[in-house]
Amino acid sequence: MKVNRSNIIIGVSLTLLFIIIIRGCINRERLKEIGVLVTVQVVDYKFMPKGMNFIKCEFKFNDQLLVINANTSISAKKWKRLKGHFFPAVYSPKLGMLKILISAEDFEDFNMPYPDSLAKWASDNL
């Protein structure tokens, strides 16, 4: 039986995609376990080819100013409304992950109460 090179490439690609998805799910769960609450300022956002979009956040952690790319549940179409504003976020230096908390669902995922002031801001601006 002759093995087709394109079938091997497809198989390897699907396996890598599966590993990336599983690792992402595991890291999100770990962030819930070991992450710490920080306050971040959204300083920029970028729309890149192939959907590699990100929000750039700035915050202090252990007396250092960090600038890290983060993700959020907010639609990329609304990111310009986030720029310059401060939001709570969960950060893990061990994982190198930062999750901005803006929506009620974000807070629910981390078993945290949704602040009334943020709910009002989100209702008015997003």
CA 86 – CA 42 distance, rounded (Å): 7
- Choose between 95 and 7: higher pLDDT: 95
> Is the pLDDT assigned to residue 53 strictly greater than 90?
no
Q: Which of 124, 117, 52 is nearest to 87 (CA)?
A: 117
Can you give the three-state secondary structure of 51-119, one letter per residue?
A: HCCEEEEEEEECCEEEEEEEECCCCHHHHHHCCCCEEEEEEECCCCEEEECCCHHHHHHCCCCCCHHHH
Report field, pTM of the whole predicted structure over 0.85? no
> Is the pLDDT assigned to residue 52 strictly greater than 90?
no
Instruction: For residues 52-73, give the mean pLDDT.
Output: 87
* Domain spans in the chain, listed from the N-terminal domain onward: 5-125
pLDDT at residue 58 in the model: 95
